[in-house]
Structure 1
Amino acid sequence: MASRTKARVVRLSRSRAKTPTRPRVRDLVEHGRTVVAAEARAIAAVRLDESFAEAVRWILDCKGRVVVTGMGKPGFVAQKISATLASTGTPSLYVHPAEAAHGDLGRIAKDDVVIALSNSGETEEILRLLPALKKIGARIVAVTRDRVNPLARGADLVLAIGNVEEACPLKLAPTASTAVLLAIGDAIAMTVLASRPFDREEYALFHPGGKLGRGLMKVHELMRGAESNPVVREDQPLSAAVAVMTETPGRPGATAVVDAAGKLVGIFTDGDLRRLVEHGETDFARPVSSAMGRNPRTVRPDALVGDAARVLRQARIDQVPVVDAEGRPVGLLDVQDLLAAKIL
């Protein structure tokens, strides 16, 4: 019996010995920092030269598209680089090198610039494409370790990233090298962007679905205009202002107040109406000018919606009149419209 008990104790001790020790939070954070530091060092060590400038010139002069390709982890980086180029005004597409060898080479034309990413420069799927790309006539830019590997020798231009030590504990998984590839791709895209006309309006055109793009919309695209723009004259009675606010399509919670020349002199809102009723001031025959808010904040039709949203937030108001160069109200921007467009 004692022998069996002793054997059981031994088995339990061995079992406990095999249980891995739970890493300390401090150790986990410290290791994470070493990875970030390793990738930062790798990016900082990159030295751009005349080849980088030439690649940018090729893209600026490109009559076709910038085709970006890569296999494995660099392939994901290539997709991001292509997306960044496209979203900032440079026509671009990503082509998977394996799929390219099975027909997708037809996406590439002689006026294109091909950017091929491979740290080793020995990626078989990319090397297989080089003869065909040469026949097509597209220019090939290799972003790779050095200038003597197979990809570099087959390219028209080489951006050498140097011998990058991976942040992986095994020194195998692409980590620091992919960070460098991405940084160079971003450097190319942003240098191209800085070298050609491309403003916030064009950026918004390519980003209609995202919050960034919506914030770059112009006020005239979102405001309530024409018959949806409530307006009363300052000499009209309060009852007319209430009627306009009620009968205007969309039932806005405010109306612009104008003088005889049609220029904005004030605004009357639902809040003004509630305060009148709370104080027993129910003489709706008096002119709206006696109860309107004077010197209201305004925005212009060509202002950015994002800027107009800041006006509403800072002033803590729900509506703002939109006026033209002569000070005439041409629309009304309501906070509900901003919420519906997911600007706020």
Structure 2
Amino acid sequence: MARAPRSTAKKPRLRALPSPRSLSPEPPLENAGVLLRYAREVLEAEARAIQGLTGRLGDPFLRAVALLRQCPGQAVVTGMGKAGLIGQKLSATLASTGIRSFYLHPAEAVHGDLGRVGRGDVILALSNSGATEELLRLLPSFRRLETPVIALTGEADSPLARGSDVVLDLGRLEEACPMGLVPTTSTAALHAMGDALVMTLMRSRSFTTEQYAQLHPGGKIGRSVQRVADVMRTGPANPVVKETAKLSDAVGVMTQTPGRPGATSVVDRQGKLVGIFTDGDLRRMVEQGRTDFTVPMRDVMGRRPRCVSPETLVLTAAAQMRESRVDQLPVVDAEGRAVGLLDVQDLLAARFL
């Protein structure tokens, strides 16, 4: 078969990108000292704005906490622009601490999303000026729905403040901006007041670490308070043999147990843990020429095994496994019964090790 003629067209040559070292460095900023001094002034201005809020806390703040604590519905957070972005974070913080909440965009609310709000809800309206048109248009609807409104604003005599049930007054704040326009100190104050509100609410409810972890099952937070009971192998996945069982029976249980844990707990007649037998124990027996598989487990098991309770923190159990250099830990209840097995593979999969 004749070959097709080779193309004589030249392939385009790719130009190599310059390496980072070959790029010319950025020229130094002029008046660097002046710029750094101004940056510090911005931080100081925002810090003063937050510090100034401490003197503004009083009965309105406590009424806001009470409204949210007694709320049978949801905390509905709303605001436009930068205040709306702060509001989204406030709503997320509420939800993460066990208060059902969602963010309502004011512009979308007047086009149907108001249907998400119902009696029993509490409104948190954020606006530094207190004159945000989109928010003011919602006030009559909030009154019709009989949903109390908590205003976070820098203008205590604004239309938003006059139309709200509770006003958290931030005070008039000068923005840390060369033009005095970009929301900076005002958003810092809104953010801080929102945090103070949610944290005080959480303190008043005695919200526990365990409750917080239940809402954060993923990542480092969830792992830090997870209990052995949440990850241990139980039921058919928990290998258990009696101390009177033959070695061959124990090997069969270890082999047939789902997940092949490589160990089995050894119990007495009452089901209480008296020993453990592992793949490592079996290998050592074979190396020593001990191949009688009819011996009872009481003669070959490891006695006084390290164990944990179902309520032990997984991080604590994982540290114990590392220090003891073991791959399995039997889990026993208050009566000493073998109720589960903690396996190193499960901890590795859940990133505890």
Q: TM-score range by the shorter chain?
A: 0.7 to 0.9
Counterpart of 1:203 in structure 2 is: 212
CA distance in 1, matches of 2:153, 2:134: 15
Counterpart of 1:144 in structure 2 is: 153
1:133 aligns with 2:142: yes
> How big is the shift at 1:139?
0.8
> How big is the shift at 1:195?
1.8
SS class of match (1:266): strand
CA distance in 1, matches of 2:192, 2:98: 19
SS class of match (1:45): helix
Counterpart of 1:52 in structure 2 is: 61
Deviation string 1:156-209 (CA, Å, 9 cap, x unpaired) is: 111111233434444432233222212221221122222225444443443344
1:109 aligns with 2:85: no
1:321 aligns with 2:333: no
In structure 2, relative to structure 1, the CA distance for the partners of 1:99 and 1:259 (3 Å cut) is same
In structure 2, relative to structure 1, the CA distance for the partners of 1:212 and 1:29 (3 Å cut) is farther
SS class of match (1:224): coil
SS class of match (2:53): coil
Q: CA RMSD in A?
A: 3.0
1:43 aligns with 2:31: no
> How big is the shift at 1:55?
0.3
> Could you tell which deviates more after superposition, 239-248 or 224-233?
239-248
Contact kept? 1:71, 1:118, Cα under 8 Å = yes
Deviation string 1:71-96 (CA, Å, 9 cap, x unpaired) is: 11111111111122122221211100
Give the TM-score normalised by the residue count of structure 1.
0.82
SS class of match (1:173): coil
SS class of match (1:273): helix
Deviation string 1:280-334 (CA, Å, 9 cap, x unpaired) is: 5555554444544333332223444444444434544322111112101011121
CA distance in 2, matches of 1:61, 1:203: 19
SS class of match (2:77): strand
> Could you tell which deviates more after superposition, 322-331 or 38-47?
38-47
Deviation string 1:203-255 (CA, Å, 9 cap, x unpaired) is: 34433445433554443343211121111233444443333211211100211
Aligned length: 326
CA distance in 2, matches of 1:39, 1:314: 48
CA distance in 2, matches of 1:267, 1:38: 64
In structure 2, relative to structure 1, the CA distance for the partners of 1:303 and 1:23 (3 Å cut) is farther
1:262 aligns with 2:266: no
- Residue identity opposite 1:141 in structure 2: I
Match of 2:235 among 226, 231, 237: 226
In structure 2, relative to structure 1, the CA distance for the partners of 1:257 and 1:137 (3 Å cut) is same
Identity of aligned residues (%): 58
- Residue identity opposite 1:247 in structure 2: Q
CA distance in 2, matches of 1:160, 1:272: 70
SS class of match (1:298): coil
Contact kept? 1:215, 1:343, Cα under 8 Å = no
Deviation string 1:24-47 (CA, Å, 9 cap, x unpaired) is: 999887766554444333222212
- Residue identity opposite 1:90 in structure 2: I
Give the TM-score normalised by the residue count of structure 2.
0.80
> Could you tell which deviates more after superposition, 161-170 or 137-146?
161-170
Match of 2:249 among 240, 255, 258: 240
- Residue identity opposite 2:254 in structure 1: M
Unaligned 5+ segments in structure 2 are 1-25
Counterpart of 1:184 in structure 2 is: 193
Match of 2:181 among 172, 179, 184: 172
Counterpart of 1:81 in structure 2 is: 90
